[in-house]
Amino acid sequence: MKSSSVLSSVGPLVFLLLFFAGFVNRRQQRAIEYLLEENRTLRAKLGRQRLRFTDDERVSLARRARRMSWAEIQRYVTIVSPETILRWHRDLVAKKWTFKQNSPGRPRVLQIIEEHVVRFARENPIWGLTKLEGVLANLGHRVGRTTIANILARNGIKPAPERAQSTSWKTFLKSHWSTMAATDFFTTEVWTLKGLTTFYTLFAIHLKTRKVRILGTTDHPNAAFMKDAAAKLIESSVDFPSNIKFLIHDRDRKFTTGFLRALGDAGIQHIATPPRAPNCNALAERFVKSIKSECLSRLILFGRHSLDKSIDEYINYYHFERNHQGRGNRIICPDRSVGKKRGQVLQRERLGGLLKYYYRNTG
């Protein structure tokens, strides 16, 4: 009699426990399925990019995987292959039975010190071993000249005298940034009475400020056109720096002897880039891409007047309304409304809405 009463009282409790366990198991299963799908999505976004794990991450994953069966590993592991997890586990076991042996000789210099030496040597080509030793001491690193020399040799960096004689193009540009400009042509196809006509536009860009000046547009860039363009570049202007000492250009034959001579007479040294090396005139090339993709390639132009108007509108947009990634995503010549948080948001359109600028009406 007593046993039947006990069973009757235990029965509902077992049922509740089974029900609760099933409920928890279903919630856990849903969470696992979500995490699996999330991992697959993230892995698909990475594409063929290889995931790189630290030793601690490999150890952590391998320790958890060793508690799982092969079937569970194949089902749940998505960021690496199951074979990789097993290899990490084997490496973990091997490390347990491998005694650490101290390698002979001095310990290798800290990685952060080596990174500092390489960086300082590349950014300062005239710094010798003693100078580098002193700069590292300023940062709290006591490193000998021999160690510094070994680091330079290991990274393929020449000693100071030789390194200074082979100044990189990037270092040269930065040291003369404010007095340098670059020039180039871009072409535009325009419908005229003669049919589809190619017009050549010559421009100059100041490397430090990214300001651009249009030097002229013509369908026949002859010596007379280039002479006028040189005069326009040399003359002072409120919207373009006048302290230009170096002008970068490619080896196009349109840069005539008269053009280059006029620059020399004005104290501007011209620098011709190597053949087939557009990266040596990267800022000019980037401006050509910008004005083409954002403006000219999206218009059908009829006549020289429409071309000149389109270029003028884009230049104004380029200077006063366009954010430039190369300048910290800032506008070259911002007005007082930039950065304000109050005021009605207005829109300014150019070329029929092709170019738009949003700003606040600050009154």
Which pLDDT band holds residue 15 (cuts at 50, 70, 90)? Answer: low
Does any domain span residue 46?
Answer: no
**Residue 307 or 159, more confident:** 307
| CATH number of the domain where residue 257 is located | 3.30.420.10
Top pLDDT among 277 and 192 is at 192
Is the residue at 355 inside a domain?
A: no
Give DSSP secondary structure letters for 21-71.
HHHHHHHHHHHHHHHHHHHHHHHHHHTTPPP---HHHHHHHHHHHTTS-HH
> Is residue 237 a part of any domain in this protein?
yes
pLDDT at 79 over 70: no
Q: Same domain, yes or no, for 121 and 89?
A: no
Give the HSE-up count for residue 293: Cα atoms under 13 Å, Cβ half-sphere: 6
Amino acid 249: pLDDT: 94
Domain annotation covers residue 317 = yes
- In this structure, are 208 and 247 located in the same domain? yes
Query: Using CA atoms, how far apart are residues 326 and 336, in angstroms rounded to an integer?
Result: 21
Q: How many domains does the chain have?
A: 3
In the chain, the N- to C-terminal Cα span, in Å, equals 94
| Least confident interval from 102-111, 152-161, 178-187 | 102-111
Q: Tell me: the pLDDT tens digits for 127-145?
A: 888 888 888 888 888 888 8
User: Of 120-124, 289-293, 323-327, which range is least confident?
Assistant: 120-124
Residue that finishes a domain, picked among 142, 167, 192: 167
b/e code 121-146 from CB counts within 10 Å (16+ = b) = bbebbebbbeebbeebeeeeeebeee
Which element (helix H / strand E) includes 358? strand 355-361
Kindly list the strands in the beta sheet with 246-249, ordered across the sheet, starting from the edge strand earlier in the chain: 212-218, 195-206, 180-192, 246-249, 269-272
d(CA 330, CA 341): 16
* 356 or 101: which leads in pLDDT: 356
189/70 same-domain check: no
> Looking at the structure, do residues 228 and 313 belong to the same domain, yes or no?
yes
Residue 44 lies in a domain: no
In a domain, 249, yes or no: yes
Neighbouring CB atoms inside 10 A of 148's CB total 23
The answer on 163 and 287 residing in a single domain is: no
The SS3 call for residue 215 is strand
Are 247 and 322 part of one and the same domain? yes
pLDDT reading at 231 higher than 90: yes
**Residue 346 belongs to some domain of the structure:** no
- Same structural domain, 157 and 181: no
User: Do 215 and 301 fall within a single domain?
Assistant: yes
Do 263 and 127 lie in one domain? The reply is: no
The range of the structural domain enclosing residue 284 comes to: 177-333
Task: Provide the pLDDT confidence category of residue 6 given band limits of 50, 70 and 90.
Answer: very low
Whether 130 and 77 share a structural domain? no
Structure tokens given for 168: 């990189």
């004689």: which residue's tokens?
165
Residue 238 has pLDDT above 80, yes or no: no
**H helix or E strand, kind and range, residue 214:** strand 212-218
Which of 130, 148, 167 is a domain's end point? 167
CA count, 13 A, side-chain hemisphere, 164: 6
Do 216 and 284 fall into the same domain?
Answer: yes
Q: Is the pLDDT of residue 31 over 90?
A: no
> Amino acid identity of 328?
G
Nearest by Cα to 129 from 161, 156, 103: 161
> How are beta strands 195-206 and 180-192 bridged, if at all?
antiparallel
Residues 163 and 290 placed together within one structural domain of the fold: no
Spatial contact of 247 and 204, defined as CB atoms under 8 Å apart = yes
Q: Whole-angstrom Cα distance, residue 255 to residue 227?
A: 10
Write down which residue in 149, 167, 185 finishes a domain: 167
Residue 101 has pLDDT above 80, yes or no: no
- Lowest-confidence region among 140-149, 169-178, 183-192, 348-357: 169-178
- For residue 340, pLDDT over 50 is answered with yes
- Residue at 140 is within a domain: yes
pLDDT band at 107 (very low <50, low <70, confident <90, very high): low
Sign of the four-CA dihedral 122, 127, 133, 135: negative
The reported pLDDT for the residue numbered 211 is 94
